[in-house]
Amino acid sequence: MENTMGSLIKFVDRVILGTLKVITITSFIILTILISANVFVRFVPIASLHWFDEIIELLYAYLVFYGAAALWITRGHISVGDWIGAKVIKNVRARHFYRMIIELLVLFFVAIFFYYSLRLTLLALDVTNVFAIPKKILYSCLPLSGAIMVIYTIRNIAVETIGMINPQQK
Give the separation between CA 77 and CA 123, rounded to whole angstroms.
Answer: 30
Q: What's the structural domain count of the chain?
A: 1
Contact 111, 151 (CB under 8 A): no
Give the separation between CA 154 and CA 170, rounded to whole angstroms.
Answer: 23
Q: Which domain range does residue 7 map to?
A: 2-165
Q: Among 28, 55, 64, 45, which Cα is nearest to 133's? A: 55
Residue 170 lies in a domain: no
Q: Which amino acid does the sequence have at 60?
A: Y
The structure's pTM equals 0.85
pLDDT tens digits, the chain, 170 residues: what are they?
567 877 888 899 999 999 999 999 999 999 999 999 988 988 888 888 888 888 999 999 999 999 999 999 998 876 656 666 667 778 888 888 988 998 999 999 999 999 999 999 999 999 988 889 899 999 999 999 999 999 999 999 999 999 888 887 55
